[in-house]
Structure 1
């Protein structure tokens, strides 16, 4: 098959993702609140079905979805989709869950769109990048975040899970001299870091490909890295890798990731 024009494909993907986000906005606005329980919302399947059909029209290839399963044939291209990363927090009434759409080429992230339709700031937030584009974009505007030169420092922010508000002193100590920000969705944490809002986004729980491929692409576009709990680059080479890419992940400035992964995060679970 001919190589897709990634800049054009990114624009088409953003359009599809923003349309899909209307489903999440409508679900959030229900009088009785979003439907579902635990980490499964009723709207998740509908969003992924919408995305799957339209993304495969844009680029027919392999597909890895959280809700609708996966088809891996060895095709060099693969869409990787999480229709609502941060579902459990979404169902608890927390803003900031996100649609996460990534594209792998020969197991390497080359395109990412992370779209948070319902945010604390009150406006939808779409962060995107594709290989060949000079900078990450945020709501259509280029953002040069220079992650390669950032360090863990005062004035910087570390994006951690929403549960961090339950142990603020410990999270403050683990993230110092930077300040922690508690928020849902590892995809959106990584995206915000790529857009220049933070120096590192992390998850202390196992993540799958659908959680992080889009964010990983954005980090690449911003000069950052995504590593596992050993400090090794996260990969998507096998089925097993896709199911669980890491036990913990750290994404952002290489220097900040190295510093943070060496800290005693096990204390969070004591």
Structure 2
């Protein structure tokens, strides 16, 4: 059966399930007393993944890796990789931009990705998806053609960094220069937006697991981008240990931009105190 798998048809079916699951996230966001949970644990995350796990395995019965419901790795060549709400802690703090992330590995290669942010600051619901066999990424159902392969850091481009960067804008502006920087939750959604042409690179300064990045990695492949670790090496998913901690930092997007950013001293951001900007400061934010 899997030898004749129609990936574009599978993508359409999986997208339908992700969009339905996204309604749970919207409803949670709109609760009068706010989303349930604290820290980085939200009740809706488990509810979404339980729903998605059953639906996805009904579509393709194979291995599975999920943030909330655990994993089953048997050596099957196919593996679903799911984060039901990437950016939970920001979601619970009232920040828009967390995302459902569904990826599919074939022999450890990301070949399908769906990243859906149902509540965003600037785009409403935003679903970015692709699989092998498709000529273009789909963004909210419309084809998008992006080529990251020759893009560079320059004054016309942006780098997507975590929401925490808003507390240290001067350092982030310096480290992302000559590009602007854009703060937002969810490394999955940052990678997806890079793949869709909104920026040249997405950065995570903290350890990531497979469920954080597989879907975004697939989308980057569609746009001629790469996903590199803190040493500038391509990220892979060949072992259970590698799935559990893909990298300590990651840089996804145009290869040259990722390599340039990966060698900069990001420890400065992690070690620095919160900045207090003077009125009238002029920083290169998106």
| 1:45 match | 46
| 1:143 match | 144
Give the whole-Å Cα distance in 2 for the aligned partners of 1:122 and 1:143. 15
| 2:282 match | none
Give the whole-Å Cα distance in 2 for the aligned partners of 1:122 and 1:208. 27
TM-aligned CA deviation for residue 121 of structure 1: 2.1
Give the whole-Å Cα distance in 1 for the aligned partners of 2:86 and 2:181. 20
| 1:183 match | 184
TM-aligned CA deviation for residue 11 of structure 1: 0.6
Change (3 A) 1:74 1:157: same
Give the whole-Å Cα distance in 2 for the aligned partners of 1:137 and 1:27. 26
**Which runs of 5 or more residues in structure 1 are unaligned?**
none
| 1:110-166 deviations in Å (ceiling 9; x for gaps) | 000000001112510000000121121100111111111211111101000000000
SS across alignment from 2:2? coil
TM-score (ref. length: structure 2): 0.93
SS across alignment from 1:147? coil
SS across alignment from 2:121? coil
Give the whole-Å Cα distance in 2 for the aligned partners of 1:269 and 1:236. 27
Give the whole-Å Cα distance in 2 for the aligned partners of 1:58 and 1:235. 25
RMSD: 0.7
Equivalences for residues 146-165 of structure 1 within 5 A: 146-165=147-166
SS across alignment from 2:149? helix
| 1:2 match | 2
| 2:214 match | 213
TM-score (ref. length: structure 1): 0.99
| 1:28-78 deviations in Å (ceiling 9; x for gaps) | 000000010000111000000000000000000000000000000000000
**Which runs of 5 or more residues in structure 2 are unaligned?**
272-286
> Does 1:236 pair with 2:237?
yes
SS across alignment from 1:48? helix
SS across alignment from 1:12? helix
Give the whole-Å Cα distance in 1 for the aligned partners of 2:109 and 2:216. 12
